[in-house]
Structure 1
């Protein structure tokens, strides 16, 4: 119940944190009923061939947060099982500031070697990778003994010890790890990072240069398509629009500029303040300018955690009604920031998830993936860790997540998707073909619905690989629009 009160106060824009006062929240333009908006058509990340990417995958993984070597407990065999069972093509791979820059200005190339090794697993299977600079409660260096864990066996993670300044303020015990954000020592550590104290202007510069070191390593790696600049930002004593349009936007701009010194092509992903915005409150994030030559490559990567589900309720009854209202409000905010503020940025849902044993879990998954499809958004589910939130239990048993995800979808489209839908044994895709794209459209088809040959209408089959479950098709040259329908052959 304390967390409910916390979030309610944040939503009201009146939360006092560590002696500071939360700022007022932002506003959105008028939208239609049910959360519909006047946003423009979806934008998509593109691959090297110019195809629009539809990304489906997992966060991998929370087990990396407290690991001494910074690596998740996730093997190549685990990836092969995921790929075979669900046909995923995307991963949000967790990295950390503490691991990249263990001492000021010193970048751990051995750690980046380990990251690169894991990236190669994904590259060999045709995945795209988004590297996520992850943090929770700022840093493990300020976590006292005796606190409740966050599901990964640790509390704080992210920043190195040398970049952690609590100024001697305490961090007390909390029953829920999220409430540690309100502890005075945690608040002060964030305030020093954002330099709202005026004491540590060097910390954000170190952070931006850390991203520069990462980008320099992965700029030529075709599998790495995006950099997620900070997981779930928290403003310390500054909250709401004042934080998002101030220190957060400043960090994003500085980091984007640093990345572009060494990498002109990868997408830069920016996320809003987490608390409140994850629950549907409008974001006050402002525009980030991409200094690269050509079109902007800034993507918007919000998270979605409706409060009823986040505190353990199922997707039914009153909880379902409240959750649906949250999704509608969240969608309106996402469309506004991506479409209006960021000028038509692609969207990636960086995190969403729930305990799959809860009532209505399958309906909720379908609802969120359906919303993402309408937004043209990629999705990285939280997370691939074993347990009821993930695709497999610790003993290897599949959760309902596997069957929910294992459906046909277009992975790479030679043009712009305008609509697509799928069932276990049917996929229909409408697109505007791009004559400049010579590579074919690529579609994943699960074995359960397409055990043998397939029937394709509206396109010519280039290849159907039953082992990889990938169908490639080519639409008619010069067509302004095409609809491709795939069903099992009779």
Structure 2
């Protein structure tokens, strides 16, 4: 497998080919493991099914509590099992993004992430969230205080919490740095503001109420009527007026100042410190910068580019997340394309500011039985392709690679291009794939296009086919060529 680095807004390999990654999240959120084994059975069958569907990346998640159950003592037996997974992935040509996951800060706060010893809540006792898990962010004083203490590098046994976290990451990076399957290091999932995040939520609620009552774009009585009528409520009609523009205006008004302060004063110094710790032991692996939790809602991310020792890191990317309100509910088929468009258009602006490649770290989710929600997924994949973004879908479930979701996710795309991409995309309605790139005839490796089933026609290139799995999928391999190449494939 080729080492992956970044070059301006692209991921490239050691041959200089531009690379695109389509993948899935697999995350072990447990507090601990009695047998020191990874939660999910990632084996040859799973990886074979995955690669046959054209998926070439796993965002492989674990938690701080799993790795450092006691201060300064690392669970190397558990990391050995993760290394075994890396080995299996390499055998199937699947890259791994190592994700340090958290939700609600820690298991003691009814989430996942930090070990108990690093969960300092002061006078606040954690309470289990009701209705939705994220309520622990909105008004969970213990979760908020735990984050405040973390961002302030509160000392435990004479050492700051962030210092422990950075040392833990340095230990992990040294262990996995030379593995051929390594894509990069995702240092902290969806960082949360702490107590300012709770203040933001309160302001968001009051701003939303004011918008519903006063904004001329909102027909208040219709919204209330849609909510009170059971059929229209079940069809989520009351949210149809909350368009992408309305969402953007409400969330920015409520949260922009809070998020900007956090991004610049807390998150940026944190990610620079952890990045520096990693770079002390290896220059390998793409360093990943996420947006904070609240920037999943159209609030701009203000975090500067990652710096190591005061200089811009050469090998980093931006991995935004984004979901509609309806994700993981029976009403997911009513998810708004306009709202998620607004969320990801804000992420486009962040990419423009950072001038770095994007890999969408989390998106998607599930909508229960049936396929009525798949057009929403199709909309998002098309958006990502327009911007030449790869992704990791949230989240792996049993038999996922044989589910209806694969009708959308398993699709033709350029895995590797000997040159630079101009554009690519697949129209599922017409079953037509188009790719344009500027070829580098001196490239020492071919371009590779994944096709999910046998093609009817291939135009614009000379190629060979390499079968992938046993379902008719293949890699369409194009020898290095100079100049503009326009490929059209029909199915």
Task: Tell me which interval the TM-score lies in, with the shorter structure as reference length.
Answer: 0.7 to 0.9
Alignment correspondent of 2:407: 403
CA distance in 2, matches of 1:61, 1:90: 13
**Structure 2 Cα separation of the partners of residues 279 and 299 of structure 1:** 20
Rounded to whole Å, the distance in 2 between the matches of 1:430 and 1:78 is 34
Instruction: Tell me which moved more, 194-203 or 69-78.
Output: 194-203
Q: Give how far 1:293 is off.
A: 9.4
Q: Does 1:297 align with 2:254?
A: no
Give the match for residue 46 of structure 2: 79
Counterpart CA distance in 2 for 1:185 and 1:250 is 23
Quote the offset at 1:196 in angstroms.
7.2
Q: Which residue does 2:59 correspond to in 1?
A: 92
> For the aligned residues, what is the CA RMSD?
2.7
* Deviation at residue 299 of structure 1 after TM alignment: 0.4
Distance 2:443 2:313 in 1: 17
State how far apart, in whole Å, the 1-side matches of 2:133 and 2:77 are: 31
Q: Hey, what does 1:177 align to over in structure 2?
A: 133
Alpha-carbon separation, structure 1, partners of 2:318 and 2:86: 22
Paired residue for 2:479?
474
Q: Which residue of 2 aligns with 1:113?
A: 80
After superposition, give the CA deviation of every residue in 1:353-376 in whole Å (9 maximum; x if it has no partner).
Answer: 232337741111111111111121
Write out per-residue CA displacement over residues 332-360 of structure 1, whole angstroms, 9 at most, x where no aligned residue: 321222221x2x11101111123233774
Q: Which residue of 1 aligns with 2:350?
A: 337
Q: Which residue of structure 1 aligns with residue 99 of structure 2?
A: 132
Q: What are the residue-to-residue correspondences of 1:36-75 with 2, within 5 Å?
A: 43-62=9-28, 67-68=33-34, 69=36, 71-75=38-42
Report if the CA contact (8 A) 1:458-1:485 is conserved: yes
CA contact (8 A) 2:29 2:112 kept: no
Is the counterpart of residue 428 in structure 1 residue 434 in structure 2? yes
**Which residue of the partner structure matches residue 147 of structure 1?**
none
Count of equivalent residues: 414
- The 5-angstrom pairing of residues 32-431 of structure 1 reads 43-62=9-28, 67-68=33-34, 69=36, 71-80=38-47, 82-83=49-50, 86-140=53-107, 142-143=108-109, 155-175=110-130, 176-181=132-137, 182-195=139-152, 202-239=160-197, 240-275=259-294, 277-290=295-308, 296-309=314-327, 313-316=331-334, 320=335, 323-340=336-353, 342=354, 344-357=355-368, 360-386=372-398, 391=400, 398-423=402-427, 426-431=432-437
Deviation of the 1:415 alpha carbon? 1.6
Asked if the contact 1:356/1:399 (under 8 Å) is kept, the reply is: no
Runs of 4+ in 1 over 6 A off after TM superposition: 196-201, 292-295
Q: Offset of 1:74 from its aligned partner?
A: 2.7
- Of 353-362 and 230-239, more deviation after overlay is shown by 353-362
> Quick check: 2:296–2:321 contact (8 Å CA) kept in 1?
yes
Unaligned regions of 5+ residues in structure 2, if any? 1-6, 198-258
C-alpha separation in 2, matches of 1:274 and 1:437: 40
Give 1:410 shift: 1.2
What is the distance in 1 between the residues matched to 2:41 and 2:447? 31
CA distance in 2, matches of 1:74, 1:123: 16
Report the alpha carbon displacement of residue 294 of structure 1 after superposing the two structures with TM: 9.7
Classify 1:66/1:362 alpha carbon distance in 2 versus 1 (closer, same or farther; 3 Å): farther
1:45–1:482 CA distance, 2 compared to 1 (3 A):
same
Q: Which is worse superposed, 428-437 or 412-421? A: 428-437
Equivalence for 1:459 = 461
Task: Please state how far the C-alpha of 1:466 moved relative to its aligned partner.
Answer: 5.5
Distance 1:294 1:164, change over 3 A: closer
CA contact (8 A) 1:70 1:99 kept: no
Q: Which of the pair is proportionally richer in helix?
A: 2
1:390-440 per-position Cα deviation (integer Å, ceiling 9, x unaligned): 826xxxxx4321221122111111121111122565432101123553111
Provide the C-alpha distance between the structure 2 equivalents of 1:330 and 1:42, rounded to a whole number of angstroms. Answer: 23
